[in-house]
Structure 1
């Protein structure tokens, strides 16, 4: 099964495992393979439904790495997780060769910020039969925050994601294998991000499950007096709760335990008589 079923009556929680020295929030903390595996298993114990393993930073201005480096970072981690857990694993990569090896090793989802636009990516995803997450990004990680412009960000992101999904389906990927991600912080200014978050329920009507990744992102710091990435938990939790209330299928977060607890309280309040 590509995407694990939700068993909690709430959005699934995707825990972030950055095996990189330069990710925006926790770069370098889990670059060591053993440290990354330990962290991943800790997130599973805290309630993560899916682990998202990434070996290349996609923060604004990040320097790309080659496939060999990315494989060296992520494959031992996926292999190590699989020795201990059958949790859902997504590989966060733009490179088909990395996705192929990751799925061979035990990943079941390809999370691509480039929406399978790399040559050969759609054909490979169809062949692998894995789940795919298509994200909207204006530009690329090196240029995306250099004055992004939209006339109507919600309409344009929705149209772009819908057209990309249909193109991927035409390339052989099954419709039920596809999730969409509006790409909070990827080629968007503060107001763009806020408008997209406000419109999650509308975007969820595109006909595909929606993943929201707002955890610790810069827009939270922009709202709260330049709060550092380590001081954005409150904003991250509210974004997750808001996404849940707006019919998101999954939230991608750094703080799994706190997010799962927030969802439990949300459910308890909703069930109170």
Structure 2
């Protein structure tokens, strides 16, 4: 088993940087300062090593993952891209807006959602991915699924990444499919299933419990043949968490860097944003989603998963300009 010792890092986005600040995950734009960790070579390696998602993607800035839900019932945009034509149109729009990755999902995992039959989920996702590739779109694609057969069909159609909200806990064969493909996989924390997760979520210490869970699932993935550098982590905002749980995770997000894996943050338009802002309509929560995205970027998250790609790309461009030191000062 890998010893994942949690240690806090303090990202620094203020200018000028402290003289003893060190780079976080290969990025020149977010920095950390932790004297005890800085003296530990294992800690230094986990914190400072670049997080390469795919060779074609940059590792010196947060990546924007655009959501393409080919479902009739997703919480925010269900039914807007549930045909081949509409899914391809949304994909083109997201690519034009600057998406670094496209996340294709054929099963809603919103609170209370039902399990989609395997054949239906494959029919929703694989043809869309094949059509994207046939259209000459080369943007990396993530398949958002818990099921091995869905992932296998998607990877065959042209997907590059597996995004599993169950962290390999739903379908035991998904680890084999991912390992054989050599694909990166995102392991997400969730308490319960979509049917039960929001009934009464409880934790002793949500940040440490999520950390420990992800550490265990990373070890499990490696034991099944998945290379450690192919693993991405996700704290699972909104998956079995109260508003306060979500806020605690977002405030302490940088702790997850000591796992030594890229962090994906998916909070776009979620219910806690509406609860805090008073905005009930999910599609109207873009401003709150941007606030969370910028906070995640400031803590060094490598991937921001969003519905509103153009707005997020623009906000991150300004954030980077404001937090990047000029050479030769």
- TM-score range (shorter-chain normalised) is over 0.9
Superposition pairs of residues 236-247 of structure 1, within 5 angstroms: 236-247=289-300
Shift of 1:76: 1.3
Shift of 1:7: 2.9
Unaligned runs of 5+ in 1: none
- Give the superposition deviation at 1:6: 4.1
Distance 2:253 2:117 in 1: 34
Over residues 65-95 of structure 1, what are the superposed CA-to-partner deviations in whole Å (9 max), with x where a residue is unaligned? 1111011111111011112211110000011
Question: Is the deviation greater in 122-131 or in 26-35?
Answer: 122-131
**Matched-pair contact (CA < 8 Å) for 1:4–1:49:** no
CA distance in 2 between counterparts of 1:8 and 1:176 reads 13
Shift in CA distance, 142/4, structure 1 to aligned 2, threshold 3 Å: farther
Higher radius of gyration, 1 or 2: 2
TM (normalized to structure 2)?
A: 0.80
1:124-149 Cα shifts (integer Å, max 9, x gaps) = 21112111000000001111101011
Determine whether 1:111 maps to 2:148: no
1:120-139 matches, within 5 Å, as 120-139=173-192
Alpha carbons 1:20, 1:55 under 8 Å: kept: yes
Measure the CA separation in 2 of the matches of 1:125 and 1:272. 39
Deviation at 1:225, TM superposition (A): 1.6
Please tell me the root mean square deviation across aligned C-alpha atoms, in Å.
1.4
Aligned partner of 2:262 in structure 1 is 209
Between stretches 115-124 and 19-28, larger displacement belongs to: 115-124
- Tell me, in whole angstroms, the C-alpha distance in 1 between the residues paired with 2:249 and 2:311: 24
Task: Provide the C-alpha distance between the structure 2 equivalents of 1:246 and 1:190, rounded to a whole number of angstroms.
Answer: 19
* Poorly superposed stretches of 4+, deviation over 6 Å: none
Where does structure 2 lack aligned partners over 5 or more consecutive residues? 1-51
Higher helix proportion: 1
* TM-score normalised per structure 1: 0.97
